[in-house]
Amino acid sequence: QEILAVESEDYFLAIVDAIDPNQDEPLGFDELVKLAQSFKNAADKQEDVNVAQDWRLLSVGITEGLKSFTVLE
């Protein structure tokens, strides 16, 4: 929810901060799945088409990144 609350130009930085393994508590795999779903759900409800598109792209990017990670693991 905190990531969705930031300005649109700050989404990427907020995500990087959340998943940075150097953080005290970076997001784990399951939390990233939930984050991707949250972006998708929020995009479906968003009236601003540009913000909705950004959130959909972030959702897809996180999901595809997790798929790639799973294959490499």
pLDDT tens profile 44-68: 999 999 989 988 998 999 999 999 9
Q: What is the DSSP string of 56-68?
A: HHHHHHHHHHHHH
Q: What pLDDT was estimated at residue 2? A: 77
- Is this model's pTM higher than 0.85 or not? no
Q: Is 7 left (phi over 0), alpha (psi -120 to 50) or beta?
A: beta
Q: Are 8 and 49 in contact (CB under 8 A)?
A: no
Which pLDDT band holds residue 73 (cuts at 50, 70, 90)?
A: confident
Q: CA–CA separation, 24 vs 26, rounded Å?
A: 6
Q: Of the candidates 69, 71, 72, which has an alpha carbon nearest to the alpha carbon of residue 29?
A: 69
- Reply yes or no on whether the pLDDT at 34 is more than 90: yes
